[in-house]
Structure 1
Amino acid sequence: MPLHSPLLDRLREIFGPAACAADEASRLAYAYDNSRLDALPDAVVFPTGHAQVEALVRACREHRAPLVARGRGSNTTGATVPVAGGVVASFERMNRILRIDPDNRLAVVEPGVLNGDLQKALIAHGFFWPPDPSSAPWCSIGGNLACNAAGPRAVKYGTPRENTLGLRAVAGTGEGFRCGTWTSKGATGYDLTRLLIGSEGTLAVVTEATLKLTPRPSAIRTLRATYRDVDAAARAVARIMAQPATPCALEFIDGVALRLAHDYAPDAGVPLAGALLMIEVDGEPDALPAAAEAVARAARGDGLEELRIARDAVETQALWSARKALSPAQRTIAPDKINEDVVVPVSRLPELVAGIKRLAAQHDVLIVSFGHAGNGNLHVNLLPRDAAERERAHACLAEVFALVVELDGTLSGEHGIGIAKRPFMPLALQPSTLGLMRAVKQAFDPDGILNPGKLLP
């Protein structure tokens, strides 16, 4: 975009010089996300209100300029990389918590509010918003909605789709609209709220969200179980999820990951085992012992090596040591790791774990698996260390996705599709389904300006 192009002049009118940048340094700062992919935008703008966003979309549509809405860039699939150039709209300045309404169990926020900041603000009211991705301290609510990013608590409390009542947004036509309800029940027309969540900014730009809140549990009990091998741990996950006491977190870590974490932090008390489950139950103090015992009974079985229950907060932190050491440990051996988040029905988890182990050996690629096992959502991390291993890793990844689909699973639980998984969408969805998705895209964004080159193949 030339420095004095008609579109850039219009953007400066809408946003003023302090909220519109076209210098190289600013463009570079918004050219990439956590996927390590990058592409330069032509300009970056910083909206502070809904009316500005309507004017922005109309201007981009008039000039046929791509528009990419961006939270904090923590996604791993390239979903916010401006591959077609155009304008990046960063929502970091649109970060107000507009309303917290405990009586109706809702909060109204702008998309730039950080997940962690919202959680802190809700503590005084005795509530929380269930989605809690590991990036919660720095990821935005808008980004959580764009990818339907959830985290460990989704096993009991659900994802953003189950915890969002309504949205205010701007379609690719430049027309603003509201969808959803202020109530916990609603049966009035199509559910556009759930449609927009997970659409990665390809249908509309969200400017406000009405979130469903949940009362904070008064107590939590943490358990850690180690197993002889990954198969035994996977079978335990299926048993735990088949009994009535639903854990609020059920995390799986395989033996390769445990070894990496142990070597990275030898004093952290990371156990060495074939696999590990981190389990939490929450609720009222009187009910917790029975819930914890029910989960513990299900965790016991062939292959269990040790089951520990934390007695206090200090022991809880100690039990979580393996999970906390895992990400930095992976980065030390494979800066170019391939991080995928596939999902299968919980009952098929043992087959997925066994299949990943087989593919790792077949392709001679180091694979670390961990994640939200209670949802069947595993983070499959391929750790190539050189060019040859990277080539084998990409071939292996295609077979991992094929295995997941064969097991009635899906390509992503919370990272989304972005650029990285676009080529595999026809593997997961029928042509007729993709055709309907393209028709929906056409209805919301007839000129294809919103986040082009993402999600749909």
Structure 2
Amino acid sequence: MTTATLPPDLDAELSALLGAEGWRTDAATRQAHGSDDSRRHAMPAGVALPRDRDQVAAIVRACRRHRVPLVARGAGTGTAAAAVPFGGGIVVSFARMNRILQLRPDDRCAVVEPGVVNGDLQQALQPLGLFWPPDPSSFETCTIGGNLACNAGGPRAVKYGATRDNVLGLVAVTGRGELVRCGGPWTKDATGYDLTHLIVGSEGTLALIVEATLRLQPRPRAVAGLRALYRDAASATAAIARLMRQPQVPAMLEFLDRSALGLLRGQGVALPEAGAMLLVEADGDDDGLPGVLQALADAASGEGLLDLDVAPDGAARERLWAARRALSPALRGIAPGKLNEDVVVPVSRIAELVEGVEALAARHALPIVAFGHAGNGNLHVNVMFHPDDAGEAARARAALDELFALVLALEGTLSGEHGIGVAKRDWMARAFDAPTLAAMRAVKAALDPDGILNPGKVLPPGHPDPL
């Protein structure tokens, strides 16, 4: 059901519950909460800004009685349209639930509300010598709740894991309007079902997270990096396998394909001709790091290596990573339209993926640039096109479908850190068999029996929408 307008009694109930600052139905606020970084937009009928978990639970119960859909929202930095309210209804913004509730260095955890900004948490942890590992490129603006919703990652995930690996417990409100508590400030637990890791990555379709206990890591004392250029993607992939076999896993391991390197050279970045590049970072203590860096340099060396630069200090390391950070802005110079997909394949099949992407670019006469988190096999494949050119737009959509087919054929998966939303929803039926999808739908029905939480996202149509 699409809810463009609200029942008057629901409007009055939420106004009384949340007050003028917490319940907004003016056009400007609704417009501002109708999109995310997917560039898609839909107008909600209202925007709720709760201050605490009790208000969240009351909002859900009220919407359940009226069968009005709810879409949870963080900072709107997602790219899969998971936060876009296509069915109208109410957007629940967690902007006012932005408190760091506890910092517990002895337990190496933090307890936070979902509206806390990732970068703000990192700053609060710095004096304690700790950090929270997920580091998406939007860390300065994205929220912890958004990170939890899509299981965000980033370059550090190769060593420290993505969001799901760094969450110890949750408090969440189900589609029934009930609070559930799972996990806690401990790192070992064999008690009952693991609802914490089930809810993380569910994109607000199972429950609305109102509190999270996050696992923290000690901040490394020393960091160093290296840059390796290779003849082709196959040589770089072989080096990735060698690097990942080292006892000390790289803290970051990024891959850039031939098109990405050409793009950087066009932007004035000094790079020799090469078929692929790896950026590697190691962390540790001052005494042990030089040995670790040498072992990684040895592993990066081999057939097809063209050049290897070591950056043992902060300034040199910063120069290495400047090229990686320059990529996204440089993409805007190619074409205004971008389909950015965060596909994953086994590390041993990265070369096949890159070869397939190059074939797609040639077949559809479109620039396609691939780079990303090589240690996880997680590459960002950017299909560039002009949206106002109908032919290019059609070829871009066809290339995207062929990309997903290629990824599944290579034993891969559709998303490593952006989530499914609606952008990849229809491919879920190709990624999973019918019994597996049925099990997912059963979980959804148990936690959200009326289907009011972010309807139409993640799971492909298979049964009539309860709304």
Normalized against structure 1, the TM-score is what?
0.97
Residue in structure 2 matched with residue 250 of structure 1 by the alignment: 253
1:38 aligns with 2:33: no
Q: Deviations over 1:159-200 (max 9, x none)?
A: 111110000010000011101122110011000000000000
Find the aligned partners of 1:113 and 1:30 in 2 and give their Cα distance: 18
Contact 2:166 2:215 in 1 (8 A): yes
| 1:236-275 → structure 2 map (5 Å cutoff) | 236-264=239-267, 266=268, 268-275=269-276
Counterpart residue identity of residue 398, structure 1: D
Decide whether aligned partners of structure 1 residues 132 and 271 sit closer, same or farther in structure 2, where only a CA change above 3 A counts: farther
Question: What's the CA shift for 1:332?
Answer: 2.1
Find the aligned partners of 2:209 and 2:42 in 1 and give their Cα distance: 23
Residue in structure 1 matched with residue 212 of structure 2 by the alignment: 209
Question: What's the CA shift for 1:272?
Answer: 4.3
Decide whether aligned partners of structure 1 residues 349 and 3 sit closer, same or farther in structure 2, where only a CA change above 3 A counts: closer
Moved more, 93-102 or 331-340: 331-340
Of the three residues 194, 197, 200, the one matched with 2:197 is 194
Find the aligned partners of 2:5 and 2:36 in 1 and give their Cα distance: 25
Contact 1:270 1:322 in 2 (8 A): no
**RMSD of Structure 2 on Structure 1 (CA):** 1.2
Residue in structure 2 matched with residue 154 of structure 1 by the alignment: 157
Contact 1:343 1:375 in 2 (8 A): yes
Contact 2:344 2:378 in 1 (8 A): yes
Question: What's the CA shift for 1:33?
Answer: 0.3
Contact 2:257 2:354 in 1 (8 A): no
Of the three residues 77, 99, 113, the one matched with 2:102 is 99
Counterpart residue identity of residue 383, structure 1: M
Residue in structure 2 matched with residue 339 of structure 1 by the alignment: 340
Name the SS of the counterpart of 1:314 in structure 2: helix
Find the aligned partners of 1:364 and 1:73 in 2 and give their Cα distance: 32
Residue in structure 1 matched with residue 299 of structure 2 by the alignment: 298
1:444 aligns with 2:447: yes
| 1:387-406 → structure 2 map (5 Å cutoff) | 387-406=390-409
Q: Deviations over 1:276-297 (max 9, x none)?
A: 1110000111111111111111
Counterpart residue identity of residue 28, structure 2: A
Question: What's the CA shift for 1:26?
Answer: 0.7
Counterpart residue identity of residue 19, structure 1: G
Name the SS of the counterpart of 1:333 in structure 2: coil
Moved more, 59-68 or 349-358: 349-358
Name the SS of the counterpart of 2:372 in structure 1: strand
Residue in structure 2 matched with residue 323 of structure 1 by the alignment: 324
> After the TM superposition, which parts of structure 1 deviate over 3 Å for at least 4 consecutive aligned residues?
1-4, 268-272
Counterpart residue identity of residue 54, structure 2: A
Find the aligned partners of 1:263 and 1:187 in 2 and give their Cα distance: 54
Name the SS of the counterpart of 2:333 in structure 1: helix
Question: What's the CA shift for 1:245?
Answer: 2.3
Question: What's the CA shift for 1:270?
Answer: 4.8
Decide whether aligned partners of structure 1 residues 4 and 63 sit closer, same or farther in structure 2, where only a CA change above 3 A counts: closer
Question: What's the CA shift for 1:219?
Answer: 0.5
Residue in structure 1 matched with residue 138 of structure 2 by the alignment: 135
Percent identity of equivalent pairs: 58
Q: Deviations over 1:254-274 (max 9, x none)?
A: 12112222323x1x4455432
Q: Deviations over 1:296-341 (max 9, x none)?
A: 1111112211111113211111111211111111112222100000
Of the three residues 417, 433, 436, the one matched with 2:420 is 417
Name the SS of the counterpart of 1:124 in structure 2: helix
Find the aligned partners of 1:204 and 1:197 in 2 and give their Cα distance: 9
Of the three residues 183, 186, 189, the one matched with 1:183 is 186
Question: What's the CA shift for 1:4?
Answer: 7.4
Contact 2:60 2:175 in 1 (8 A): yes
Decide whether aligned partners of structure 1 residues 180 and 319 sit closer, same or farther in structure 2, where only a CA change above 3 A counts: same
Counterpart residue identity of residue 148, structure 1: N
Q: Structure 1: state its 5+ residue gaps.
A: none
Contact 2:147 2:163 in 1 (8 A): yes
Counterpart residue identity of residue 289, structure 1: P
Question: What's the CA shift for 1:359?
Answer: 2.1
Counterpart residue identity of residue 22, structure 1: T
Name the SS of the counterpart of 2:412 in structure 1: coil
Contact 1:262 1:322 in 2 (8 A): no
Residue in structure 1 matched with residue 465 of structure 2 by the alignment: none
Q: How many pairs are equivalent?
A: 455
Find the aligned partners of 1:89 and 1:271 in 2 and give their Cα distance: 49
Find the aligned partners of 2:152 and 2:426 in 1 and give their Cα distance: 21
1:373 aligns with 2:374: yes
Of the three residues 51, 55, 78, the one matched with 1:52 is 55
Contact 2:342 2:380 in 1 (8 A): yes
Name the SS of the counterpart of 1:293 in structure 2: helix
Q: Deviations over 1:137-170 (max 9, x none)?
A: 0000000000000101110011111110000010
Of the three residues 121, 125, 140, the one matched with 1:122 is 125
Question: What's the CA shift for 1:32?
Answer: 0.4
Contact 2:6 2:89 in 1 (8 A): no
1:173 aligns with 2:181: no
Q: Structure 2: state its 5+ residue gaps.
A: 461-467
